[in-house]
């Protein structure tokens, strides 16, 4: 059994898009992440952050990875984020959604991925 920590619609800026001119200036993305983790019972009993996932650090890591380099595809950013977060934090499974506001006729476009912790 796993418990969940969610960060919903984290506002980040990224240089992303297929045409060069779209990547010329950073654009706004909203990133949501759902992290399956060990049950909260030990963290709750001890009231100790060491027994859970520090969601502030996760949010900072998302902003850092997103800003590292330009990318053409949301899919590339989603894979980069999932790989990095699974490697860095004690996450059993991750689900990510990245929203981009590029089509004037649509509220947003998004990609969603789910990845398990790789087997050791």
Active site residues: 100
Enter the DSSP assignment of 6. Answer: E
- Exposed, middle or buried, 106 (CB in 10 Å: 0-12/13-18/19+)? exposed
Length of the chain, please?
120
Helix (H) or strand (E) holding 98: strand 93-100
Contact 95, 33 (CB under 8 A): yes
- Give the Cβ contact number of residue 99 at 10 Å: 18
């Amino acid at each position: 059994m796993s418990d969940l920590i969610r960060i919903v619609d984290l506002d980040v800026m990224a240089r992303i898009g297929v045409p060069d001119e779209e990547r010329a200036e950073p654009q706004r993305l909203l990133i949501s992440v759902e992290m399956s983790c060990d049950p909260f019972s030990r963290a709750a009993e001890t009231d100790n952050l060491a027994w859970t996932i520090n969601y502030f650090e996760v949010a900072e890591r998302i902003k850092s990875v997103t800003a590292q380099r330009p990318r053409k595809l949301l899919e590339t950013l989603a894979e980069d984020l999932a790989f990095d977060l699974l490697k860095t934090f004690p996450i059993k499974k991750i689900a990510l959604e990245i929203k981009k506001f590029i089509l004037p006729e649509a509220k947003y476009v998004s990609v969603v991925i789910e990845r398990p912790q790789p087997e050791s």
